[in-house]
Amino acid sequence: MGKVHEATVSAPVNIAVIKYWGKRDSALILPTNSSLSVTLSQDHLSTRTTIRASPDFPADRLWLNGVEEDISASKRLVNSITTARKLREALEEKQRKDGIPAESVVPLSKWSIHVCSENNFPTAAGLASSASGYAALVSALGALYDLPQSTSELSRVARVGSGSACRSMFGGFVAWQAGVADDGNDSLAVQVANRQHWPELQALILVASDRKKAISSTAGMQTTVETSSLFAERVRTVVPQRMEAMKTAIANRDFENFAEITMRDSNQFHAVCLDTYPPISYMNDTSRAIVGLIHAFNAARGRIAAAYTYDAGPNAVIYALKDDMRDLVELFTFCFPREESMLADAFYPDPFGVFALPEEAGQRLTDPAVARLADTAGKYPAGSVRRIIHTEVGDGPRILPASQSLLSDVGMPKRARE
Amino acid sequence: MGKVHEATVSAPVNIAVIKYWGKRDSALILPTNSSLSVTLSQDHLSTRTTIRASPDFPADRLWLNGVEEDISASKRLVNSITTARKLREALEEKQRKDGIPAESVVPLSKWSIHVCSENNFPTAAGLASSASGYAALVSALGALYDLPQSTSELSRVARVGSGSACRSMFGGFVAWQAGVADDGNDSLAVQVANRQHWPELQALILVASDRKKAISSTAGMQTTVETSSLFAERVRTVVPQRMEAMKTAIANRDFENFAEITMRDSNQFHAVCLDTYPPISYMNDTSRAIVGLIHAFNAARGRIAAAYTYDAGPNAVIYALKDDMRDLVELFTFCFPREESMLADAFYPDPFGVFALPEEAGQRLTDPAVARLADTAGKYPAGSVRRIIHTEVGDGPRILPASQSLLSDVGMPKRARE
């Protein structure tokens, strides 16, 4: 057996504070407006992907969480892989032109690949994994193929897989510039600030139970573009202003402005969904209750101390500074009691020890003002929030050592589900 | 005892299909945009009001559903009564100028009044009564004072009490023209089509249980004007187009266009509420479920056979033609079972006999396509819908005979609560 050509990477989830919704080109995934996100820590949420290229593989194959998927069934997967292969092909071409002997140029672009990908968070968490998934895929291809392109350039390849995946190519605070070019050349991610820029910023993910099946965001957003009479105004006027204001807020570590813009933009995204025909609604009564709690919490604090944001589902992501997080965790565990059937680790990690003992969880309310607020709000039905994840701003994709590979010696998944 | 100067009227509820939301003048209640509504039958929903003027009354007094209210505490009540009195004063002035002997001009404008008002629907129905209430008040004052003003002119007086009340001054289909004058002279209601124009059109009111207390629409709409970045576009572009399209649909009895505009405008109203900061949400999971059921029902029918619309609360009003109503009633009683504690008449009236027997209600699904749809949708928690009212397009305020008076011989409420 010759040299193994393989790369293993992990890539993070990102949560937008200025929302992406609407494409100007569906094939290339070119958005109608720029967006901006915070990359979350891979300690709690990430996708790990191993890719191996081998002249012995008869075809490209892919396993997601242990289950083999048909690559050719996904145009987006094919697009991403094909685009990365072309970049590799160009590199091999250049190596040959540069006088490197043909036998030293490894023809990786000609070989089939095996892709094995796993999320470290359960699908049951209700969190979209396409952003971290495509960022991991493209980062692994970049590493495997030794591509010379910058991360921003590679983010274009992630973009053709899943729009918001381009933002998961960086850590910290990331803008996806909509761009204007027809070929999407200028539609890519850039880092606005790195992870170390604002270490106090933390996030809480509240996974809400929902009776309804989610509407595909791909289908939903194009219906919005076609039918909402308010959407054009958002794209033309509102988002450009907010992008600038948000960058300034981040640069200044100005939490109140960061939070207000985040909440307003989440609300407006859901407003244009509702203005779609037929209307799209992702938020449910639990989501609406969390919105109310956050505004009440901010009123109790006398400042904007927390922000909510919702993507294409009922789950809330709460941004707050470290010093306010304990009270928020206590408030949520009080108002959203666990259901008995829920796993002991449904709420994790638990730096404050608030989740630790089910019989005590939700009984401690350290701050008297928060206790009064919790008392007024009351308790929601047990299990309305079925998971809480306490996390923080994280770094971009990481290249992992070969020991972390998901593939066996022969290039098959180490773990596979029947 | 001399001649009794008294009038008793009843006035209807109206449900907007193009929504009023936002004022350009809060004192005069001048709206940012025109709106259009359907007046509902007084057989099922109405306010009855008796007003008597007497030189023996030491002060103005008012009883609402048997409970005395402090008139002076409500600027809107004072405004409406004062405006009507001024019109009466002008009439008395004119009568004297016209040579009618002073002793024959009854100085009603100088006398105090007793106002007694009752809704024929329980407050528990969760339906706003301010529109029918102010329309009844102003109609009764118009009759008592023998005012020569046209109904449109009097609708201005109802408007200063409660904006949408001006639309309850007419039966059938009614437009409230926003107007442009600073004094509100051209901000009034006009009848677009009368009750007889479209007799097949019916309405179903679904009263949804809600945990949340409603936000005052008066406070809410001004926050929208001030904070929503999408609201101006609605006012400037969307509503003027929809007003014209809606009038055409009504003129042509074109249910599909009527229904689609109704749904789109309801959705957009709630969209701008959500785009408000802090956001306002009136619809809950039950409301969202009903939206889904209506779109599924229309899909099953292969045409737009029903429309939903929501005001400042979670209750749905469904518009449909008579021939589609039975299936809708069956669908809703199937999907929203009654709670045991609910009153036997919670669903009324019952022309199809669907509500009649609790143990049978919701079991009959006549149409196979609707039965399939109901099966897919499943049953929502019992009591999610706690009242259904089946009604139709109705007439405008009615002047009732003296026998229907709510006041006793001495001008006090016949029925009063402790």
Residue B416 lies in a domain: no
- Cβ burial of A260 (10 Å; 0-12, 13-18, 19+) is middle
- Report CB contact under 8 Å: B271, A212: no
- Cβ burial of A16 (10 Å; 0-12, 13-18, 19+) is buried
Q: Which two tokens stand for residue A15?
A: 């949560």
A382: left (phi over 0), alpha (psi -120 to 50) or beta: beta
Do A208 and A192 have their domain in common?
Answer: no
Count CA atoms closer than 13 A to B106's CA, side-chain side: 15
Tell me what the pLDDT averaged over chain B comes to: 92
Lowest mean pLDDT among A296-310, A403-417, B221-235: A403-417
Strands (E), A120-183: 173-176
pLDDT digits (tens, 9 = 90+) for A35-51: 999 999 999 999 999 99
Task: Please report residues of A whose CB lies closer than 8 A to that of B283.
Answer: 281
Do B117 and B156 have their domain in common?
Answer: yes
Question: CA nearest B242 in A: which residue?
Answer: A229
Please name which of A180, A272, A281 lies closest in space to residue A222, comparing C-alpha atoms. Answer: A272
Residue B410 lies in a domain: no
DSSP B72: G
pLDDT for residue A102 is more than 90: no
Total of domains in chain B: 2
pLDDT of amino acid B355? 62
**Higher pLDDT, residue B340 or A118:** A118
pLDDT for residue A360 is more than 60: no
pLDDT for residue A284 is more than 80: yes
How far apart are the CA of B387 and the nearest CA of chain A, in angstroms?
Answer: 20
Lowest mean pLDDT among A59-63, B185-189, B295-299, B344-348: B344-348
pLDDT for residue A294 is more than 90: yes
Q: What percent of chain B has pLDDT over 90?
A: 83
pLDDT of amino acid B362? 57
pLDDT of amino acid A358? 52
For residues B353-365, average pLDDT? 62
For residues A202-220, average pLDDT? 81
pLDDT of amino acid B125? 57
pLDDT of amino acid A342? 67
**Higher pLDDT, residue A72 or B345:** A72
**CATH at B237:** 3.30.70.890
Task: Please report residues of B whose CB lies closer than 8 A to that of A272.
Answer: 230, 271
Query: Which residue numbers of A have CB closer than 8 Å to B's CBs?
Result: 211-212, 229-230, 233-234, 237-238, 260, 263-264, 267-268, 270-272, 274-279, 281, 283-285, 288, 291-292, 295
pLDDT of amino acid A216? 74
Lowest mean pLDDT among B123-127, B337-341, B356-360: B356-360
Containing H/E element for A157? helix A151-161
Cβ neighbours of residue A100 under 8 Å, at least 6 residues apart?
A: none
* CA distances to A397, B176, B183 from B166, in Å: 62, 7, 16
For residues B240-245, average pLDDT? 98
Please name which of B17, B155, B147, B157 lies closest in space to residue B81, comparing C-alpha atoms. Answer: B157
For residues A291-314, average pLDDT? 96
Strands (E), A137-276: 173-176, 189-193, 201-208
What angle do helix axes B255-274 and B239-251 make, rounded to 10 degrees? 160
Read off the pLDDT band of A365 (50, 70, 90).
confident
- Report CB contact under 8 Å: B292, A212: yes
Residue A414 lies in a domain: no
Task: Please report residues of A whose CB lies closer than 8 A to that of B264.
Answer: 277
pLDDT for residue A357 is more than 80: no
Containing H/E element for A31? strand A30-31
Neighbours of A388 (CB within 10 A): 23
Do A115 and A242 have their domain in common?
Answer: no
Do A116 and A226 have their domain in common?
Answer: no
Do A183 and A329 have their domain in common?
Answer: no
pLDDT of amino acid B338? 83
pLDDT digits (tens, 9 = 90+) for A8-45: 999 999 999 999 999 999 999 999 999 999 999 999 99
Give me the residue from B212, B229, B267 closest to A275, CB to CB: B267
Instruction: Please provide residue B68's backbone torsions phi and psi, each rounded to the nearest 5 degrees.
Output: -70, 135
Do A266 and A178 have their domain in common?
Answer: no
Range of the domain at A180: 5-197+398-404
- Report CB contact under 8 Å: B230, A292: no
- Report CB contact under 8 Å: B267, A274: yes
- Cβ burial of A135 (10 Å; 0-12, 13-18, 19+) is buried
**CATH at A91:** 3.30.230.10
Instruction: Please provide residue B306's backbone torsions phi and psi, each rounded to the nearest 5 degrees.
Output: -155, 150
d(CA A115, CA A161): 15
Read off the pLDDT band of B359 (50, 70, 90).
low
**Unique residue bearing structure tokens 């959203």:** A336
Residue B414 lies in a domain: no
pLDDT for residue A123 is more than 70: no
Task: Please report residues of B whose CB lies closer than 8 A to that of A384.
Answer: none
**Higher pLDDT, residue A168 or B102:** A168
Radius of gyration of chain A, Cα coordinates, nearest whole angstrom: 22
How far apart are the CA of A378 and the nearest CA of chain B, in angstroms?
Answer: 11
Q: Hey, of B224, B285, B286, B384, which one would you mutate to test binding to chain A, going by the most A CBs within 10 A of its CB? A: B285
Cis peptide before A381 (omega within 30 of 0): no
pLDDT of amino acid B360? 54
Q: What percent of chain A has pLDDT over 90?
A: 83
- Report CB contact under 8 Å: B295, A278: yes
pLDDT for residue A215 is more than 80: no
pLDDT for residue A353 is more than 80: no
Read off the pLDDT band of B166 (50, 70, 90).
very high
d(CA A169, CA A152): 8
How far apart are the CA of B187 and the nearest CA of chain A, in angstroms?
Answer: 26
pLDDT digits (tens, 9 = 90+) for B190-234: 999 999 999 999 999 999 987 766 667 788 899 999 999 999 999
Are A413 and A66 a contacting pair, CB within 8 Å? Answer: yes
CA dihedral sign of residues A300, A305, A310, A316: negative
Do B207 and B238 have their domain in common?
Answer: yes
Read off the pLDDT band of B364 (50, 70, 90).
confident
Instruction: Please provide residue A6's backbone torsions phi and psi, each rounded to the nearest 5 degrees.
Output: -150, 150
Query: Exposure string (b/e) for A321-337, b if CB count within 10 Å is 16 or more?
Result: beebbbbbbbbbbbbbb
How far apart are the CA of A239 and the nearest CA of chain B, in angstroms?
Answer: 10
For residues A137-166, average pLDDT? 97
Do B180 and B304 have their domain in common?
Answer: no
pLDDT for residue B1 is more than 80: no
Cβ neighbours of residue B355 under 8 Å, at least 6 residues apart?
A: B329, B333, B347, B348, B361, B388
Read off the pLDDT band of A356 (50, 70, 90).
low
pLDDT for residue B350 is more than 90: no
For residues A76-85, average pLDDT? 96
Residue A104 lies in a domain: yes
Question: CA nearest B380 in A: which residue?
Answer: A211
pLDDT digits (tens, 9 = 90+) for B3-30: 899 999 999 999 999 999 999 999 999 9
Residue B275 lies in a domain: yes
Read off the pLDDT band of B127 (50, 70, 90).
confident
pLDDT for residue A125 is more than 70: no
d(CA A30, CA A178): 7
- Report CB contact under 8 Å: A230, B288: no
pLDDT of amino acid A349? 72
Read off the pLDDT band of A127 (50, 70, 90).
confident
Partners of A306 in beta bridges: A320
pLDDT for residue B307 is more than 70: yes
For residues B253-272, average pLDDT? 98
**Higher pLDDT, residue A373 or A125:** A373
For residues B311-339, average pLDDT? 93
pLDDT for residue B124 is more than 60: no
How far apart are the CA of B30 and the nearest CA of chain A, in angstroms?
Answer: 23
Count CA atoms closer than 13 A to A386's CA, side-chain side: 16
Please name which of B143, B145, B162 lies closest in space to residue B87, comparing C-alpha atoms. Answer: B145
For residues B77-85, average pLDDT? 96
Do A192 and A225 have their domain in common?
Answer: no
pLDDT of amino acid A214? 61
pLDDT of amino acid B48? 97
Residue B411 lies in a domain: no
Task: Please report residues of A whose CB lies closer than 8 A to that of B263.
Answer: 277-279
Do B237 and B321 have their domain in common?
Answer: yes
pLDDT for residue B284 is more than 90: yes
How far apart are the CA of A233 and the nearest CA of chain B, in angstroms?
Answer: 7
- Report CB contact under 8 Å: A229, B211: no
Do B88 and B174 have their domain in common?
Answer: yes
Are B37 and B167 a contacting pair, CB within 8 Å? Answer: yes
Do A20 and A105 have their domain in common?
Answer: yes
- Report CB contact under 8 Å: B275, A271: yes
Residue B53 lies in a domain: yes
